[in-house]
Amino acid sequence: MSSAPREAAAHERQLAECLRRARHDPTLAVLEGFHALKHALRFGAEPLAAYAADPVALDELAAAVAPDVRERVVALVEPIAPELLAELAPRAPQPAVVSIAPRPRFDLAQALRDPRPTPIVLLEDPRNMGNLGACIRVAAGADAAAVLSTGTSDPWHPDALRGAAGLHYALPVAHVDGPPRSDRPLVALDPGGDPLDAAALAPRAMLAFGSERHGLSEALLDAADARVRIPMRAGVSSLNLATSVAVVLFAARLRDT
Ligand SMILES: C[S@@+](CC[C@H](N)C(=O)[O-])C[C@H]1O[C@@H](n2cnc3c(N)ncnc32)[C@H](O)[C@@H]1O
């Protein structure tokens, strides 16, 4: 092999290793797709690198849907062989781009102190990363004060970032060991609770939602100041996790705006 192809192969190996490490680095976020990169840039991320198989197609998309970040996308993105990108980020939406950015600093006390009436979302042991991402996306849209999650999953998992379209950068998002102590009323969202009344929903509530399979734990239900249900048609057992987060956050938002 002559030196140019050898150098290109070494560069590709280095890049693959760098991305593999970033996926397991708790200080970094791996953003797959243009919309994740766009939102990350809009909400203050400072990506370290971004790789695209077709930078021209990416630029056209940026010009069409996000001219505000176009220049930064162009300056950031390096071209990469399409087969290599497909191997490194097989689920990146087209036109494929994968970016690496530092996660923002998270301060739990500061998030809990947020004086606005807007709630915090507490997800107890969510298991489906796409669903977790969808919760973060809707919480960003509703301008929630934070999304906290307990259990085994990292809310900054690349699949959750893809599901949230990178909106983790729009509000504080972090894993916590359990429901944090605070002056916020703890409201458990549970199909067995009292019917949701947006007017009676406490300002600055910590809204707790259970896992997809098991719902909320007895410990959390016992600790809650109130249990609330979203009234459903008879025969329907429950709503999807992200859907129920959307209903409650927007009931509160529509009341307050
Ligand atoms: C898919 S559901 C869990 C279903 C679980 N089998 C159960 O019995 O709770 C996930 C979470 O969404 C919320 N949720 C779903 N439907 C709801 C409803 N109608 N009222 C209040 N919360 C609901 C709850 O927090 C629930 O723990």
Measured CA to CA in angstroms, residue 125 lies from 85, 181, 240 at distances of 32, 18, 15
Q: For residue 210, which atom of ligand 1 is closest to its CA?
A: 27
The span from the CA of 22 to the CA of 123, in Å, is: 25
- Tens of each residue's pLDDT in the chain, 257 residues: 567 788 878 888 888 899 999 999 999 999 999 999 999 999 999 999 999 999 999 999 999 999 999 999 999 999 999 999 999 898 888 999 999 999 999 999 999 999 999 999 999 999 999 999 999 999 999 999 999 999 999 999 999 999 999 999 999 999 999 999 999 999 999 999 999 999 999 999 999 999 999 999 999 999 999 999 999 999 999 999 999 999 999 999 998 87
Residue whose CB lies within 8 A of the most ligand 1 atoms, among 196, 233, 244, for a mutation test: 244
The response to whether residue 244 sits with its C-beta less than 6 Å from ligand 1 reads yes
Q: In whole angstroms, give the CA distance from residue 101 to residue 28.
A: 6
Q: Do 34 and 58 touch, CB atoms closer than 8 A?
A: yes
pTM for the model stands at 0.95
In the chain, the amino acid numbered 84 is: L
Beta-carbon contacts of residue 85 (< 8 Å; ≥ 6 apart): 51, 52, 53, 92, 96, 98
Contacts of 4 (CB under 8 A, 6+ apart): none
Q: What is the DSSP string of 148-198?
A: EE-SS--TT-HHHHHHTTTGGGGS-EEE-SSPPP-SS-EEEEEEEEEEP-G
Give how far Cα 95 sits from Cα of 52, 66, 78, 160, 234, Å. Answer: 8, 14, 14, 19, 43
Task: Assign 121 to helix, strand or coil.
Answer: strand
| CB of 51 shorter than 6 A to ligand 1 | no
171 close to 118: Cβ distance less than 8 angstroms: no
Interatomic CA distance for residues 160 and 53, integer angstroms? 23
Report CA(190)–ligand 1 centroid distance (Å): 5
